Amino acid sequence: MNEREKILARIREALTVQAPFPGEPRAPGQQRPSPAQVRKWLPPAADSFDEQLALFRQNATSLKADFYALNLRDELKSRLLALRDAEDWRKIASHSGELTDLGVSALGVPVLKTDSGYDINELEKCDAGITECDALIAQTGSVLVANRSAGGRALSVLPPHHVVLARRKQLLPDLPAAFELLKQKYGCNYPGMISFITGPSRTGDIERILVLGAHGPRKLTIFFL
Amino acid sequence: MSRPVQQFKAQAELSTHNLRLRATIQTALEKYAVVRDTNRRAFQDYQAARQAAAEIKWEAINHLDRYLEQFVSKLEARGTKVHWAGTGRLAREIILGIIREKKARSIIKSKTMTSEEIHLNEALEREGFEVVESDLGEFIVQLNKETPYHIVFPAMHLTRGEIKELFNRELAADASDNPEELTRVARRVLRKKYVGADIGFTGANFAVADAGMVSITENEGNARLTAALPKTLITLLGIEKVLPRLEDLALFLPLLATSGTGQPLTCYNTMYGGPRQPGESDGPEEWHVVLLDNRRTELLADAEQRDSLHCIRCGACLNVCPIFRNVGGPAYGTTYSGPVGSVITPHLRGWQDWKHLSFSSSLCGACTETCPVKIDLAHHLLQNRRKAVTQKSSLAGKLGFKLFAFIFNRPRLYRRVAPLGRLGQKLHPLVKGTRLDPAYAWTKSRATPQIAPRTFREFWRERNLHEIQQRPMQETKGQNQI
Ligand code: SF4
């Protein structure tokens, strides 16, 4: 027997004795909570689009992320330019995408693209990483990214400023909705990495005092178009 | 007395007298409790969420073989190499084997208690590899040559002043005690390590069976960098981490965050499905997942305590435990401390050496009350006490109780022996509090109950005699009739 078989055999042997179920016995098929049930237990998410937007804004703000809902795509360019000047971006990184292409084109600084192989040392030198995303989650103020939709694994976490460009229709009410989306979108072929990003990187490891920018970005800016 | 008991007592004594340390811990935990309570209240039905989590974990653990096989076959289908390790020693050998094969020198780690469990860092360092902890708290305790004080807050026992001194000494930094500045020092040092590391090493919070993904929860971004930059990634996880379905995370991620750090959701909750896939731009070329048993199957075989494998290592039970709060993590001498550590350690590391942990509890039940997956920890502690007694009790204890039973079952003998106790107690002050005292273990920290000046029998006999002399005849008669 190899190690795998040995461990599995020990597990099967152990499980011959039943352990009591921790609650009311369930009918078969009733065994797991539906997303609708989970939704009723978690912190409330709003129903209408406007309420969800307000909730996302409120959560993002309390997480110390910057959130801007923009009306015109032109406005995106001017906002990005303002950031570039305020933070003196010399070089940025991004990936190909409808929104990222639009945003990056206006910046006039060198852009490292992370769509295919790239040099980590170069990415480390970038002042900002601009990505798209899979969804925004109102309930938690999170940005959902996957390596397929957001330029790989490192782009959204290595540069000191992560700028997210999101579309109106990407706003979701809550976590159950986010997992439904993942299932629909990726089915049984999940991407190598999926991440819920909830605010800029942080730590409380020194006397539980909040410090932003532990290892990941110190700043997270979300543009909602 | 065995060694872990002595070390527990000695360390507990030290910690409880260290007022500075206790103040640091109390402040940290009070901050935690405030946010935890706010965010638990934000749930529409927190109790229902806990109940569902307990049921889902029950399902996972009670069909562990099936879910593990599903998890592994999904992982392997996408090119991840899965290794099974029955013991900590085997896990270390597997990991060392991978590192040697890659001819690697430096390893960057993100926080994992499971690697503490198998003493991985020591093993790697013995072989001459450079191992760097990247989680800030872990980095601090590594630099300070300590083990984590707490499974979630590794450096909670250190003040910023102490961390400043540590950094200035060990990293030749010139920082003030401003937490931001200190964090920046660590960030700068660790960035270099990331870019240069040959191997990334992580733990895992959940192993999602239906998607074949590993879920990692963190705040700093260090685990994300660990899993993105080095060419080879190794992930070590206990076999009990399984969750049946990806959507179960919709419940477990917020529960873990609220109980763990008090946050509504931790900053990064990341699921990994494989090494770099064709067409992907980055990520490790190779991913090795090491599944560790290390006597978890023994806990599994104990149907009564099987649910202690439901634990998601949030640390909430440590935070509310009056014992942990006062004696602190190091006293336990275990990887997992606090109530859950006291429950599982005897199973994982032997009853004789570790049963004392189950006795160092006031059974107040705060742990049971707070556990997000509803493990009845207080009850398990009680069960452990029973098991410890049936496993083996000391010879002196056994003889003592035999003698006790013998005497108490024989009224005449008892009547003879009882006055001896009184005599003994008269002589006791001569030796009390010294090692000569045969009852030293008891009297060291407790008052000895006073043996009554007369026994009830004596009292009754005297009283009757007295009454017969004093009272009118009828009454005595009447009494006798009853
Ligand atoms: S036993 Fe419960 S409260 Fe304690 S660490 Fe595990 S999950 Fe958290």
pLDDT at B443 over 70: no
Return the HEC string of chain A.
CCHHHHHHHHHHHHCCCCCCCCCCCCCCCCCCCCHHHHHHHCCCCCCCHHHHHHHHHHHHHHCCCEEEECCCHHHHHHHHHHHHHHHCCCCEEECCCHHHHHHHHCCCCCEEECCCCCCHHHHHHCCEEEECCCEEECCCCEEEEECCCCCCCCCCCCCCEEEEEECHHHEECCHHHHHHHHHHHHCCCCCCEEEEECCCCEECCCCCCCEECCCCCCEEEEEEC
Cβ contact A175–B280 (<8 Å)? no
Among A44-53, A183-192, B223-232, B396-405, whose mean pLDDT is lowest?
B396-405
- How would residue B168 be classed by pLDDT, with cut points 50, 70 and 90? very high
| pLDDT for position B392 | 61
Q: How far is A115 from chain B (nearest CA, A)?
A: 6
Lowest-pLDDT range, B50-54, B79-83, B170-174, B410-414? Answer: B410-414
Tokens of B368: 């049971």
CB atoms within 10 A of CB B227: 28
CATH number of B42-294: 3.40.50.10420
CB contact under 8 A, A157 and B221: yes
Check whether B481 has a pLDDT greater than 80.
no
Exposure of A70 by Cβ count < 10 A (0-12 exposed, 13-18 middle, 19+ buried)?
A: middle
Rounded CA-CA distance A80/B227 in Å is: 30
Model pLDDT for residues B380-399, shown as the tens digit of each residue: 999 999 988 876 656 666 77
> Is B328 in contact with B157 (CB distance < 8 Å)?
yes
Per-residue model confidence (pLDDT) at position B445: 62
Q: ipTM beyond 0.90?
A: yes
Q: What is the tens place of the pLDDT at every residue in B111-144?
A: 999 999 999 999 999 999 999 999 999 999 999 9
C-beta of B197 in contact with ligand 1 (< 6 A): no
Q: Tell me, what's the pLDDT at B76?
A: 97
Given a cut of 80, whether residue B1 has pLDDT beyond it is no
In the sheet that holds A161-166, the strands lie side by side as: A66-69, A219-224, A161-166, A128-131, A92-94, A111-113
Which among A118, A207, A219 is the top mutation candidate for probing chain B, defined by the most B β-carbons within 10 Å of its own β-carbon?
Answer: A207
Question: Cα torsion for B175, B178, B180, B186, to the nearest 10°?
Answer: 40
Could you tell me which chain A residue has the CA closest to the CA of B90? A3
Which residues, at least 6 apart from A42, have a Cβ–Cβ distance to it below 8 Å? A139, A174, A175, A176, B43, B44, B49, B250, B251, B254
Q: How far apart are the first and last CA of chain A?
A: 58
The count of other CB atoms within 10 Å of the CB of residue B350 is 14
B378 touches ligand 1 (CB under 6 Å): no
User: What's the pLDDT at B446?
Assistant: 66
Dihedral of the CA atoms B136, B138, B142, B145 (nearest 10)?
A: 120
Count of alpha carbons within 13 angstroms of residue B33, beta-carbon side: 14
Confidence of residue B477 (pLDDT cuts 50, 70, 90): very low
Atom 3 of ligand 1, residue of closest alpha carbon: B371
- The closest CB to that of B250, out of A15, A38, A214, belongs to A38
Single-letter amino acid code for the residue at B424: G
**Is B282 within 8 Å of A157 when comparing Cβ atoms?**
no
Query: How many residues can be counted in chain B?
Result: 482
How far is the CA of B188 from the CAs of A217, B159, B166, in angstroms? 13, 21, 16
* Cβ-nearest to B247 among A121, A142, A179: A179
Is A120 in contact with B301 (Cβ distance < 8 A)?
no
C-alpha closest to that of B254 among A174, A172, A215, A37: A174
**pLDDT value, residue A175:** 97
Nearest-CA distance B426 → chain A (Å): 53
Ligand 1 center to B377 CA (angstroms): 9
Q: pLDDT-based confidence at B479, cuts 50/70/90? A: very low
Mutual angle of helices B338-349 and B377-391, in 10-degree steps: 30
Give the integer Cα–Cα distance in Å for B50 and A147: 32
Task: State the pLDDT confidence band at A23, using cuts at 50, 70 and 90.
Answer: confident
A–B: how many Cβ contacts below 8 A?
297
Residue B270 · residue B216 · CB < 8 Å: yes
pLDDT band at B463 (very low <50, low <70, confident <90, very high): confident
Cβ(A8)–Cβ(B295) below 8 Å: no
In B39-112, the DSSP E strands lie at 81-85, 106-109
What radius of gyration, in Å, describes the C-alpha atoms of chain A?
Answer: 21
Q: For ligand 1, is residue B186 a contact (CB within 6 Å)? A: no
Question: How many residues does the structure list for chain A?
Answer: 225
- Quote the ligand 1 centre to B307 CA distance (angstroms): 11
Query: Closest-CA residue in chain B for A119?
Result: B282
The first and second tokens of residue B204, run together, are 């895992």
Mean pLDDT of A148-167: 96
Give Cβ neighbours of residue B158 (< 8 Å, ≥ 6 apart).
A206, B24, B140, B144, B166
CA B337 to ligand 1 centroid distance, Å: 11
More confident residue, B310 or B392: B310
Residues of B in contact with A10 (CB under 8 A): 293, 297, 300-301
pLDDT of residue B441: 64
Residues of B in contact with A29 (CB under 8 A): none
State how far the Cα of B432 lies from the Cα of A112, in Å rounded to an integer. 78
Q: B349 C-alpha vs ligand 1 centroid, how far in Å?
A: 19
Q: Indicate the average pLDDT of chain B.
A: 90
CB nearest B136 (choices: A41, A192, A203)? A203
Identify the CATH number of the domain in which residue A100 sits: 3.40.50.10420
Among chain B residues, the shortest Cα distance to A114 is held by B281
H-only helix segments in B78-132: 88-101, 113-117, 120-126
Please tell me the predicted confidence (pLDDT) of residue B465. Answer: 82
Which pair of structure tokens corresponds to residue B106? 């430096």
pLDDT tens readout for residues B68-107: 999 999 999 999 999 999 999 999 999 999 999 999 999 9
Among B344, B334, B342, B340, which Cα is nearest to B117's? B334
Q: Which residues 330-389 on chain B approach chain A with CB closer than 8 angstroms?
A: 374
Statement: residue B303 has pLDDT above 60:
yes
| DSSP letter, residue B334 | S
Residues 6+ apart with CB under 8 A from A71: none
Per the structure, how many domains does chain A have? 1
Mean pLDDT of B163-167: 96
Mean pLDDT of B148-153: 94
Nearest atom within ligand 1 for CA of residue B312: 7
Which pLDDT score, from 0 to 100, does residue B393 have? Answer: 55
Mean pLDDT over A84-98 rounds to: 97
Q: Do B84 and A11 touch (CB under 8 A)?
A: no
Query: Do the Cβ atoms of A158 and B163 come within 8 Å?
Result: no
Distance of CA A14 to the CA centre of its chain: 39
Residue A54 Cα, gap to closest chain B Cα (Å): 17
CB contact under 8 A, A206 and B32: no
Bridge partners (DSSP) listed for residue B200: B108, B233
CA of B370, closest atom in ligand 1: 3
Identity of residue A127: D
**Pick from A22, A180, A202: CB nearest B374:** A22
Whether the pLDDT of residue B442 is over 80: the answer is no
Residue ranges making up the domain that contains A177: 3-224
3-class SS of residue B217:
strand
Asked whether the predicted pLDDT for residue B478 surpasses 50, the reply is no
Q: Give me the residue spans of the domains in chain B.
A: 42-294, 395-444
Q: Which of B375, B380, B381, B384 to mutate to test the pocket of ligand 1 (most atoms within 8 A of CB)?
A: B375
Q: Which pLDDT band, with edges at 50, 70 and 90, does B480 fall under?
A: very low
Q: Which residues in B lie closer than 8 A to residue A44 (C-beta atoms)?
A: 44
Pick from A2, A19, A180: CB nearest B62: A19
Q: Output the residue whose Cα is nearest ligand 1's atom 6.
A: B311
Other beta carbons within 10 Å of B73: 12
How far apart (Å, rounded) are the C-alpha atoms in residues B270 and A146? 9
**CB distance from B98 to chain A under 8 Å?**
no
Which of A33, A158, A199 shows the shortest C-beta gap to B52?
A33
Which residues of A are less than 8 Å from B228 in CB distance? 152-154, 157-158, 193
Name which residue leads in pLDDT, A1 or B315.
B315
Instruction: Give SS3 for B59.
Output: helix
SS3 B382: helix
For residues A124 and B229, give the distance between their C-alpha atoms in angstroms, rounded to a whole number.
Answer: 11
